[in-house]
Amino acid sequence: MSSPSPITSVKARTIRIPLDAPTSFATREVHHRDYGIVRVRTEDGHEGIGFCYGGSDAGVLVSLAVRELLAPLLIGEDPTRVEGLWEKMYGTAILHGRAGAVMRALSILDIALWDRNARKADMPLHRFLGGYHSDSVPAYASGGYYLDGKTPEMLGEELASYVSMGFKAVKMKVGRLDPDSEEARIRAAREAIGPDVLLMLDANNAWHDLPTALRFMARYEPYDPYWIEEPFRVDDIDNHARLSARTRVPVATGEIETGRWRFKELLDKGGAIILQTDAAVCGGISEYRRIGATAASYGINLCPHWFHDLHVHLVGSAPNGQIVEFFPDDKVLNFRRILDRQLESRDGHLILPTEPGLGFNFDEAALDDYALDDWA
């Protein structure tokens, strides 16, 4: 074995990208998005990158956790000892945040280590992680947000446009309006996409009690939803389990959940039939794979949340990775504006990258346009 090349630099940056049109879902309105990004360099000149959503404000908390807490733990270390470095970071971070900004900081450093090691090995990340799919992975088009003045017909047209791009599954937001208005939206959506396209519903933590959730579900069920996503707040596992037992629509959740132990609790209690674990949230690629392995032994699939550029590799490398959430434009997920390459979609699938590591880099000029701070 060649001697390890130590980590010489760990830098973070905070990016803020305004949305062209403020958009909303059940529980929030979003005007701009903050992203925390990192770059890890080693003595041999190789580097890896990581990134996460830092919320619609205060994304600097992620960069701060990298700079103040975690970066000093990595300098001088062997980047191929990923599990060891995860434990070192987690052991330190446990006091400051086992969820939220600190865990996101840990997650993106772990992603950067995997990316760096795959680039060094000259392998695309999905292959470096073991490889499952050969050329492409299934994807669904995510959209259907609430916008001022957007009628049910306009929602239907939007979703039908994804179907005309080749997608066999589409997602829309639910849970913001009264039951009649909600039913008008889902009816228009189903009529526009036809009976055979899968229709996912995302409630973004809309409901606080089971009776309210059941009342809305009774309106949605006739339109054959494929899943109901995040019906309750993330900590309310019991209500997820109660709803799961009472509706024929599979319950999906997990996009802001962290750590293998909480996911096990969710599975043990029957709170989800589909996990939406996000590697940039839950503890990085390392923790995502542990959660994925546990889910596999429960017979449960992962349909990871958000960043398609990252999760194409994770769905691409696991038998129980089911489908990637894909954002066809930058109206919602505007992260694509700071990347130098975009994924290609074809016939409802995303083509697996063939370049080393994640398969893209940050566009430095775009970073300068949107950065709130400098690399530090």
What are the residues binding Mg ion (CB under 5 A)? 202
- Report, in Å, the least distance between residue 71 CB and Mg ion: 30
Nearer of residues 128 and 140 to Mg ion, judged by Cβ: 140
Q: By Cβ distance, which residue is nearest to Mg ion?
A: 202
Nearer of residues 47 and 202 to Mg ion, judged by Cβ: 202
Helix segments in the chain, DSSP class H? 60-64, 71-74, 82-93, 101-120, 125-128, 152-164, 179-193, 210-220, 237-246, 260-268, 279-282, 284-297, 308-315, 364-370
Cα distance between residue 63 and residue 15, in whole Å: 10
* Spatial CB neighbours of 190, under 8 Å, sequence gap ≥ 6: 199, 223, 224
Nearer of residues 202 and 257 to Mg ion, judged by Cβ: 202
What DSSP letter does each residue of 289-348 carry, written as one string?
HHHHHHHHHTT-EE---S-HHHHHHHHTT-TTB--EEE-SSSSS-GGGGGBS----EETT
- Report, in Å, the least distance between residue 257 CB and Mg ion: 12
Nearer of residues 115 and 202 to Mg ion, judged by Cβ: 202
Nearer of residues 158 and 202 to Mg ion, judged by Cβ: 202
- Report, in Å, the least distance between residue 30 CB and Mg ion: 13
What residues are paired with 124 via a beta bridge?
357
Q: For residue 215, which amino acid is it?
A: R
- Report, in Å, the least distance between residue 199 CB and Mg ion: 14
- Report, in Å, the least distance between residue 207 CB and Mg ion: 14
- Report, in Å, the least distance between residue 94 CB and Mg ion: 27
Nearer of residues 96 and 331 to Mg ion, judged by Cβ: 331
Nearer of residues 116 and 171 to Mg ion, judged by Cβ: 171
Exposure pattern of 54-86 as b/e (b: 16+ CB <10 Å)?
A: bbbeebbbbbbbbbebbbebbeebebbebeebb
- Report, in Å, the least distance between residue 204 CB and Mg ion: 6
